[in-house]
Amino acid sequence: MPDSLRFFVCLLSITSLVWMVAGCGGDAGAEGADGGTSILSAKETKLLLRQLPYKYEFRTVATPEGAEAAVAGQVRARHHTVVNFGIELGHGHKAVPVPRAGTRYSYGYPRGGFIFTSDLLIEGPDGRLEPNPQIRTTAQQNEASEMTVSMTDKLCLAATGDHCPP
């Protein structure tokens, strides 16, 4: 396994560990702070994401079957890190495809009412997932993981009152 792929897999494992440690802090089935779960609208989702220290370009995307809404776009950060993403909102079961990544690299959180897809990993020529070659440096790899964790956690907190589970 190439060193960059090994590093990226290690980084994703660390991210999962951080989610676990900082996660729900209790019963994963517990109700949110407001006594329940709310499904975010596309407008609410965009407003929440814009609270994070990144620059967004949203694009129009079809709402997957069974979903209430969908948001897609590109997020940029200080190290010129670019991550394409798609978010299915509601209790549908189909993620929003992301260019070059499809829907294979998704984080689904049914209690939070969303499926988050990104292009941190893309499909290689042999069909296997591999690191996105546009994320070149260690700083960009760290920042890309931080961006996706921050975005999903922002949505979890808004929808349930709790942090995302791993």
pLDDT in tens, 97-107: 999 899 988 99
Could you tell me the CA-to-CA distances from 158 to 47, 61, 81, 82 in Å, in that order? 11, 22, 25, 24
Q: How confident is the model at residue 3 (pLDDT cuts 50, 70, 90)?
A: low
Within 10 A of 82 (CB to CB), how many other CB atoms are there?
18
- pLDDT at 5 (0 to 100): 43
- pLDDT at 36 (0 to 100): 59
pLDDT in tens, 54-92: 999 999 999 999 999 999 999 999 999 999 999 999 988
Question: What element of type H or E holds 46?
Answer: helix 42-49
CA distance linking residue 57 with residue 73, whole number of Å: 5
Q: How confident is the model at residue 21 (pLDDT cuts 50, 70, 90)?
A: very low
- pLDDT at 6 (0 to 100): 47
Do the Cβ atoms of 96 and 84 come closer than 8 Å?
no
- pLDDT at 2 (0 to 100): 57
Q: What rounded mean pLDDT belongs to the chain?
A: 82
Q: Is the pLDDT of residue 19 over 90?
A: no
pLDDT in tens, 122-146: 999 998 999 999 999 999 999 999 9
Average pLDDT rounded to a whole number, residues 2-12? 47
pTM over 0.75: yes
Beta bridge partners of 82: 76
